[in-house]
Amino acid sequence: MTREAISAGAPTRRDRVIVAGLLVLVAALAWAFTIDQARQMDAMDAAMWRDMNMSMNGMEQSWTPVDAVLLFIMWSAMMAAMMVPGAAPMVAAFAAINRRRRERAAPYVPTAIFLSGYVVAWAGFSLIATALQWLLQKTELLTTMMQSASHYFSAALFLAAGLYQFSPLKQRCLNYCRSPDGFILSEWRDGALGAMIMGLRHGLFCMGCCAALMTLLFAVAVMDLRWVAGLTVLVTAEKLLPGAKFWRVAIGVALIVAGAGFALAAIKAT
């Protein structure tokens, strides 16, 4: 894929509207599921969770397979709700190029295939997050209600995520997330399988950019909708708003300050 081809396939207003509609639909469905899960959790106390055999107590040796599947679905829906909006520029660029191909009666690929690859990448992260949640609950760093049980643990997560904001890997992945042209030039592949791989690889770059921020869900409460919404705003602003360096540095500094606050709270509590 050449720069000339990319320029010729620049997203039009129509492309942006169509892509925005697709992404809003996907994100809305994911948010609806996430909100429903959060409300169900709010309606339950720890005893009810045990009665429903969720087996989420840190003293348990393992979850049941059903527990693991349900939590994986929860994480997958939450990641789709949080990450799909930030992929809008890349999805719009992919859609525009394939629309131009369709107009010339050339082979083209539906944008949904690319988006599916992106979602699959975050489903992989959700699988890791589910396993990590099991480990954290087993070690009693996370409560049965998916809330952090340790200020020290929360401080470590915030400090690690804050420091990662200044790493070369974070900057490289963020550049790919913010620059559809750069990604297309280096990663373009033809055909349906190629589109799926492109979506998967874009999702992997997105994970390199945002996975550390997603782990902060463990630092407060996994299903706290206020925290989920706040992180969604942060990752979307970092990807879409002007001033990439400003957002990357500002978020990093804020996270480090928050981590220091949790550390001080832990010290005072001892």
Show the tokens assigned to 180.
Answer: 């559809």
Residue 36: how many CB atoms within 10 A of its CB? 11
Pick 8 or 224 by higher pLDDT: 224
Is the distance from CB of 9 to CB of 96 less than 8 angstroms? yes
- Whole-model pTM: value is 0.81
Query: Model confidence over 105-119: pLDDT tens digits?
Result: 888 888 889 999 999
Is the distance from CB of 113 to CB of 265 less than 8 angstroms? no
Show the tokens assigned to 195.
Answer: 């589109």
Pick 29 or 166 by higher pLDDT: 166
Pick 116 or 50 by higher pLDDT: 116
Confidence (pLDDT) at 42: 64
Confidence (pLDDT) at 44: 58
Is the distance from CB of 42 to CB of 86 less than 8 angstroms? no
Question: Which bin fits 36, alpha (ψ -120 to 50), beta or left (φ > 0)?
Answer: alpha
Distance of CA 30 to the CA centre of its chain: 12
Pick 24 or 136 by higher pLDDT: 136
Confidence (pLDDT) at 255: 96
- What is the C-alpha R_g of the chain? 20
Query: How confident is residue 29, by pLDDT bands cut at 50, 70 and 90?
Result: confident
Q: Which of 120, 100, 74 is closest to 228 using CA atoms? A: 74
Pick 173 or 38 by higher pLDDT: 173
One-letter identity of residue 194: G
Confidence (pLDDT) at 53: 42
pLDDT at 18 over 80: no
d(CA 27, CA 83): 8
